[in-house]
């Protein structure tokens, strides 16, 4: 019914993590059906509590991961939408963005990359933001700034908020010049 996992220098789907400690509780699966050759299924939600530490070098090593690249592209689409652009995902289809460098400072994350447009021209792109918790499910990116050669990708936002969803509960988030640390809970619901 419970699983505890602790790891140092773990890699999950291309994301490097310095330290992970998680506990999964209330694990109920259809074991009887699995023994009869059926697919494994969750019978009830699993409650996961844990702590993740991500050092600057970990994030630097994760920049080429498809999971992180997809998440950053989704973030850019949300930012464009907040700036009143229609069809931001379609707009971003015209660009190939490669993130190359990350920097942590006190309460600030900065990313530098290259952006290739449909004419194969390459220019620099920068994204920087502070990270603050508004409550357990709302993350504020403030101040947030994106700089790129295409003018429509140049903007600054204050108090941009990301709703992490009802399945997520972050109790503590800290960022300094060397690492990002997050303590929280996650609910994994059955299909």
Other CB atoms within 10 Å distance of the CB of residue 49 = 15
Q: How far apart are CA 17 and CA 85, in angstroms?
A: 34
Per-residue pLDDT at 41 exceeds 80: yes
pLDDT tens per residue, range 51-72: 999 999 999 999 989 899 888 9
pLDDT at 20: 95
The pTM of this model reads 0.82
- Which residues contact residue 156 at a Cβ distance below 8 angstroms, ignoring those fewer than 6 apart? 143, 144, 145, 146
């Amino acid at each position: 019914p419970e699983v505890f996992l602790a790891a140092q220098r773990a890699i999950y789907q291309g994301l490097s993590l310095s330290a992970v400690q998680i506990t999964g509780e209330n694990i109920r699966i259809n074991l009887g059906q699995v023994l009869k050759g059926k697919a494994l299924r969750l019978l009830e939600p699993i409650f996961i509590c844990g702590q993740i530490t991500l050092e600057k070098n970990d994030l630097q090593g994760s920049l080429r991961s498809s999971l992180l690249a997809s998440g950053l592209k989704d973030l850019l689409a949300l930012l464009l939408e907040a700036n009143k652009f229609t069809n931001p995902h379609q707009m971003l289809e015209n660009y190939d963005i490669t993130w190359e460098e990350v920097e942590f400072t006190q309460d600030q994350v900065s990313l530098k990359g290259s952006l290739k447009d449909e004419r194969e021209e390459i220019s620099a792109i920068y994204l920087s933001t502070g990270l603050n918790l508004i409550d357990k499910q709302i993350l504020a990116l403030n101040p947030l700034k994106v700089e790129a050669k295409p003018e429509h990708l140049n903007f600054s936002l204050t108090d941009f908020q990301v709703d992490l969803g009802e399945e997520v509960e972050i109790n503590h988030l800290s960022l300094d010049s060397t690492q990002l640390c997050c303590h929280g809970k996650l609910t994994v619901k059955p299909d």
